[in-house]
Structure 1
């Protein structure tokens, strides 16, 4: 048997942490002396502690680790599935870090050349276009930011299914309209829509009219830069918002292997600001 101090020293885990693990039921002492409250751990528990530390190094939460430890039957199968899931999460994080590193290197290069790290904004092209009226088959709902990707898939599956059932003619790629005037942690007022030829029950008119249009090639993380450039252009030229901003997904995000293949059109409906003389 090992005292809590000895166990702590061998595993390089503080006694405070060990007491907390016991409190949440993650790792209980093998024995507690009632008279003085001294805690003792068995030799076998050393490997359990090493196992916990290994999973923590993979960014498993304590609750996730506890669930794995409690799965006495089929523990290896559960562990394999959980490690596979975590591997995918870490791979995604690595990709994000690599993308951030590439961006950082570009910024360093620009600074060495005497350029601003915001100089990339100059390459964002904005055009003033007239967009004709269209019929939209759509689903409008409040969506939390972290649910947008899931709702995108769910809503467009329903919409495309309806176009097939009702034999509707799809005229353009799917689009999303943002009706919220401001970002809200309680959800965004979003409309998932497909332009169709026929005007039937469930469709509505949408007339964007005059719009600022920008084509984005690449990651959706650059959308905020496009929004900024469009607002700057509108302010400089004396325009203001006239309708919901919308995005057209020329390429299906689920059908590309890398973000650089994404093509998105961003439309910002505008009108000339009224001037009071």
Structure 2
């Protein structure tokens, strides 16, 4: 018989320390907190007052994010030097987790902004075209594209078909940002180098996939980051099937020629609402940007 003043039954420990009996049994199995006494007749576990304190320490360490192996080490080695080293390492780990979560939060905010922009563009487009479903583009505008930092991947794609969106290249860029904890400031931006409209000719095509990243982002030492924007561009939103985007290109180039503008750089596409967000092709929205110089007044 175990004196009540000396030991606590497993059920009482579970109640006082708000720890499931199943957890206490597991701690016993792995050697993290073995009971002081086990009744030979009932095999019931009993814990000392000191072990109650140890259990409270375990609970606190677990709440701070330490795994069971780390908890075991902190219980076995109670020197202040060791505790400091473990706490310092955990603090660095948590800081990294916070940075990653903040990057995800900013990415979600950017995506939410694009969804709201997409809804506004779609509503305007429907009010303008009415029943004329053959029109895929919104009114053309000239706008200044602010300069930013672009994380990119560029390569020559053999017999490129513009209608075939390269999702694998998209995912590579997005996963790289996630792995580095880089917040995204833009949707996917695809730039076509070489012959204007060459991406529609089933030829080898120099294509760049990229995303804008936060201006205040502290970047690791990576080479595939460059400046982007910082120029005026003629822009138009293409609404609907991506395979029909060549029509919007032709409309935009006609406008550029009619207004005496000079093309200054390769065209780019900014995917406002893409297949990664919405399956319905009718709701896809791509902004085409062609850098230009307007004629002197």
Q: Do 2:161 and 2:202's aligned partners in 1 also have CA atoms closer than 8 Å?
A: no
Tell whether the 8 Å contact from 2:163 to 2:242 is kept in structure 1 after alignment.
no
Displacement of 1:149 after TM fit? 3.3
Q: Does 1:196 align with 2:196?
A: no
Larger relative CO (CA 8 A, sep 6+): 1 or 2? 2
Cα-Cα RMSD: 2.8
Q: Which residue of 2 aligns with 1:145?
A: 160
Separation in 2, partners of 1:139, 1:193? 6
Tell me, in whole angstroms, the C-alpha distance in 1 between the residues paired with 2:226 and 2:151: 7
- Asked if structure 2 preserves the Cα contact closer than 8 Å seen for 1:177 and 1:247, the reply is yes
Aligned to 2:147: 133
Distance 1:158 1:167, change over 3 A: same
What secondary structure does 2:164 align onto?
helix
Partner of residue 229, structure 2? 207
State how far apart, in whole Å, the 1-side matches of 2:286 and 2:247 are: 13
| SS at 1:137 equivalent | strand
Supply the distance in 2 between the matched residues of 1:225 and 1:142 (Cα, whole angstroms).
Answer: 24
Structure 1 pair 257/154, CA: closer, same or farther in 2 (3 Å)?
closer
**How big is the shift at 1:208?**
4.7
> Hey, which bits of structure 1, 4+ residues long, moved more than 4 A?
none
Distance verdict in 2 for CA 1:199–1:243, change over 3 Å: farther
Q: Kindly tell me: are residues 257 and 161 of structure 1, through their superposed partners in 2, closer, same or farther at Cα, counting changes over 3 Å?
A: closer
Say which SS state the counterpart of residue 184 (structure 2) adopts. coil
Q: Distance in 2 between the 1:147 and 1:126 partners?
A: 22
What's the CA shift string for 1:145-173, capped at 9, x where partnerless? 248736x2111221111112211110011
Q: Residue 60 of structure 2 aligns with which residue?
A: none
CA distance in 2, matches of 1:141, 1:170: 22
Q: With the length of structure 1 as denominator, give the TM-score of the two structures.
A: 0.51
In structure 2, relative to structure 1, the CA distance for the partners of 1:264 and 1:199 (3 Å cut) is farther
| Structure 2: segments with no counterpart, 5+ residues | 1-130
Go from structure 1 to structure 2 and tell me whether the alpha carbon gap of 1:273 and 1:188 turns closer, same or farther (over 3 Å shift): farther
| Superposition deviation, residue 185 in structure 1 | 4.0
Q: Equivalents in 2 of 1:199, 1:252: separation in Å? A: 28
Q: What displacement does 1:252 show?
A: 2.4
After the TM superposition, which of the residue ranges 132-141 and 153-162 deviates more from structure 2? 153-162
CA spacing shift, 1:148–1:125, aligned 2, 3 Å = closer
Structure 1 runs not aligned, ≥5 long: 1-108, 111-117
Give the alignment's TM-score, normalised by structure 2: 0.48
CA distance in 2, matches of 1:181, 1:199: 36
Q: 1:238 to 1:199 in 2, by over 3 A?
A: farther
Whether contact under 8 Å (2:162, 2:243) holds in the other structure is no
Match of residue 224, structure 1, among 233, 246, 260: 246
Q: Distance in 2 between matches of 1:147 and 1:176?
A: 11
> What corresponds to 1:176 in structure 2?
190
* 1:187 aligned onto 2:173: no
For residues 2-151 of structure 1, the aligned pairs below 5 Å read: 120=135, 124-143=138-157, 144-146=159-161, 149=164
Rounded to whole Å, the distance in 1 between the matches of 2:141 and 2:148 is 20
Asked whether the 8 Å contact 2:239–2:283 carries over to 1, the reply is yes
Helix, strand or coil for the counterpart of 1:270? strand
Is 1:158 the equivalent of 2:172? yes
Q: Which has the larger radius of gyration?
A: 2
